[in-house]
Amino acid sequence: MTKPVTILYFAWVRERVGAGEEEVTLPQGVDTVAALVAWLRGRSPGHDAAFASPALVRAAVNQVFARQDTAVGAGDEVAFFPPVTGG
């Protein structure tokens, strides 16, 4: 059994997806942030809308800011969100 990946969504990415969190089991070959985004877009029109402008969506893997080529694997926590606006 492969452990699932926890996906978190924040701010307008969360609103477009329609959920703040989901667990998914990654198919073979989905092993980077970029591949995960491409695969998630096929899950629903909301997911597709959330990632319609990939340059506007940032990611973190296991609570650390990630890039498009950052590795993603079973058991990871991956978060997607717009550029941060705190402070």
Partner 1 sequence: MIRVRVQVADFDLKEETDALLAAAAEAGAVASFLGVVRSTAARPIAALTLEHYPAMTQPALEAIAAEAQRRFDLLGCTVIHRVGRLLPGARIVLVLAAARHRQAALDGTGYLIDWLKTGAPFWKSEELPDGTTRWVEAREEDAEASARW
> What residues line the site for partner 1 (CB under 8 A)?
8, 10-12, 60, 63-65, 77, 79, 81-87
Shortest gap between Cβ of 64 and partner 1 (angstroms)? 8
Comparing CB distances to partner 1, the nearer of 27 and 86 is: 86
- Determine contact, residues 61/78, Cβ cutoff 8 Å: yes
| Three-state SS annotation for 44-55 | CHHHHHHCCCHH
Comparing CB distances to partner 1, the nearer of 43 and 65 is: 65
Shortest gap between Cβ of 28 and partner 1 (angstroms)? 28
Comparing CB distances to partner 1, the nearer of 28 and 85 is: 85
- Determine contact, residues 12/83, Cβ cutoff 8 Å: no
Query: How does strand 77-81 pair with strand 64-66?
Result: unpaired
